Amino acid sequence: MSLPAYGGTLVDRTVTDARAAELRAEAAGLPGIRLSGSTLSDLYLIAVGALSPLDGFMDETAWRSVVDDMRLPSGLPWGVPIVLPCTVDEAAAVGDGGRAALFGPDGELAGVIDVTGRFDRDLGAEATGVYGTTEQEHPGVAAIHGTGPICLAGPIEYCYPTDISGFPDANLTPAQTRAAFAERGWDTVVAFQTRNPIHRAHEYLQKCALEMVDGLLVHPLVGETKSDDIPADVRMECYDVLLDKYYVKDRVMLSVLPAAMRYAGPREAIHHSIMRRNYGCTHFIVGRDHAGVGSYYGSYDAQEIFETIDAAALGIVPLKFEHAFFCKLTGQMASAKTSPSGPEDRVFLSGTKVREMLTRGERPPAEFTRPEVADVLMKAYRS
């Protein structure tokens, strides 16, 4: 049996078709707030329970507790604030309470919030606490500076009419992944977070983890990412060709996570693990530089942060792996724990280096990328 949802109960703030029609009629008379793509992702993740126990956007007490202490007011560990930013004009229209309509970037009604509070967001404190820097060159810091200065809090109802992931057949909710795990008889499931194609090093980590558990959830993030990250549709094609040929089909499942990347390094590793617990996973792979960007975080900061929180409360087990590489001496993937080779016999390549190679029209080497994946990437970059 999978772990219970974080906080004990899997939240569901989605509505029936009849209730959605009522909300659309009501929204015509409500003040409106236009959501960014990343805030729409948060709204969706709250609604389907991926951010349980949250049933809405955080108030100032919760925001401050997360920024300063990495905990919800209840004491549960929590990595990043989940807030609803708005403009001064939008906040003035809402006032101190009542209800407001939430519109997606396309102008469609996404939901309604019962506003229970509002606060001015201290962007400097959030940047320092969550990202470890106030430099706006950091994409996460730049993103919060690009939002409105006021945040509204309160529970939500969700009625967005379309799938926000772009991959409706692969976008399983936490309730659906939990049901799928139960149907397969998986009591223990390891999740793998990625915003890149799966390379040989990733495959090695996943298959090491599969020796310990019943099943693997490959759970790529398909929300907003940096402009130079490989597009989600290309990555999904890579996952399909890889899993079809190189994995045991009844021990792996592919589903997408329509969340935005924050590039918050260690804090985001906690955030990613909490979401995967809500999706029903019992274990979570944490590799080198998880959710990192540039040189803002140490290679293993995202692993070490798990030693600073209440592991029993978090529940999900982090599986910590060292940097994997292709070992020329043994002719296989390895890490410093398993390979006796020296530096000259170790082939390291990062996602950044692969993107640079593709931009130059160079094919990623077989030591790093399966040939079927390289074919997909080369075709995408040529076009």
| Four-point Cα dihedral 364, 365, 369, 372, nearest 10 | 80
| CB burial readout 82-106, b (16+ within 10 A) else e | bbbbbeeebbeebeeeebbbbbbee
- Cis bond upstream, residue 258 (ω within 30): no
Up-side HSE of residue 181: CA atoms within 13 Å toward CB?
30
Instruction: Characterize the bridge pairing of strands 252-254 and 109-115.
Output: unpaired
312 φ/ψ sector (left φ>0, alpha ψ -120 to 50, else beta): alpha
CA 379 – CA 375 distance, rounded (Å): 6
What are the Cα distances from residue 14, in Å, to 118, 161, 170?
23, 11, 19
For the beta sheet containing 189-194, the strands, ordered from the edge strand earlier in sequence to the opposite edge, are 252-254, 215-220, 189-194, 283-286, 317-320
Q: Please identify which of the residues 34, 118, 121, 196 carries the catalytic annotation.
A: 196
**What is d(CA 247, CA 370) in angstroms, rounded to the nearest whole number?**
12
Whether 118 is a known active-site residue: answer no
Which residue out of 178, 195, 276, 277 is catalytically annotated? 195
Query: What letter represents residue 278's amino acid?
Result: N
User: Does 196 participate in catalysis according to the annotation?
Assistant: yes
CA distance 105 to 39: 10
Rounding to the nearest 10 degrees, give the CA dihedral for residues 162, 13, 48, 281.
-170
Which contiguous run of DSSP H or E holds residue 64? helix 60-69
Active site residues: 195-196
